[in-house]
Amino acid sequence: MGIGPGSLDDMTPRARQAIVNADIVVGYNTYIALIRALVENKQLIGTAMMQEIERCQMAVDEALTGKKIAVVSSGDPGIYGMAGLILELVMKQPEAVRPKVTVIPGISAVGAAAAILGAPLMHDFAVISLSDLLTPWELIKKRAEMAAAGDFVIAIYNPKSKKRVTQIEEIRQIVLAHRPSSTPVGIVHQASRTGEEMELSSLAEFTALPIDMFSLVIIGNSQTYVAGGRMITPRGYRV
């Protein structure tokens, strides 16, 4: 289930109810902290980052005992979240005992970031994660190349981490071969959480701005413009 970007105001009633109904709430410690007010009387299984498989396997093991488990992802669990891993692990169980899985969507990080920037995703867009832990860097670059060639608005998850600092510049170069350097780029840091910040920049210089693992970057298409401090990709209406 998706808790949304962070504030309880952005969590749907359906997601909230799933937590209320759960016997155990499972998630990355940072995300559990975001919903502290809802889980006070719950059994919690929190782990550090990078232990996704162990965490999800614990959730499946508990579900096999008949308990109701809420596995929380920030944003939307179906977008780089835990929905896929949970389903992969559940399908390894014999069909007769397989726990039932319901995926409850949440406000995605990209949707939250877009709303803060204005309306950058009003036309066809591509979503790419720069995390090369589980994906070959060559494939990520190829996707950026194709998205740039197709004039997609490009939303970038995981643009940088402590260890991964140069990749976003490589992506900038790839897109720059297809779009003017004046193309608007929006950066949102901690979307809809404490510490939220947004900055509007351009393809010429956005990589000079602070970007980290809590940032989401949206590169406009050939029609995107900035007006009144908002990033707008026109849908094509004659206004």
Complex with a copy of itself: residue 116 or 205, whichever CB lies closer: 116
Comparing CA positions, the residue from 194, 134, 151, 142 lying closest to residue 170 is 142
Print the binding letters for residues 134-173 with a copy of itself: x by CB under 8 A, - otherwise.
xx---xx-xx-xxx-xxxx---------------------
Of 38-46, 62-70, 91-99, 201-209, which part binds a copy of itself (CB under 8 A)?
A: 91-99
Burial of residue 63 (CB within 10 Å: 0-12, 13-18, 19+) is buried
Q: Give the integer Cα–Cα distance in Å for 80 and 127.
A: 10
Question: What sign results for the dihedral spanned by CA atoms 87, 91, 92, 93?
Answer: positive
- Rounded to the nearest whole angstrom, what is the least distance from the CB of residue 68 to a copy of itself in the complex? 18
Print the binding letters for residues 6-35 with a copy of itself: x by CB under 8 A, - otherwise.
-xxxxxxxx--x------------------
CB 232 within 8 A of CB 197: no
Site for a copy of itself, residues 183 to 212, rule: CB under 8 A:
none
Q: What angle do CA 83, 88, 94 make, to 5 degrees?
A: 130
Please identify which residue in 28, 31, 80, 206 interacts with a copy of itself, judged by CB under 8 A: 80
Please identify which residue in 45, 58, 119, 209 interacts with a copy of itself, judged by CB under 8 A: 119
Of 20-28, 41-49, 93-101, 203-211, which part binds a copy of itself (CB under 8 A)?
A: 93-101
Please identify which residue in 123, 164, 179, 193 interacts with a copy of itself, judged by CB under 8 A: 123
Q: Give the integer Cα–Cα distance in Å for 231 and 35.
A: 30
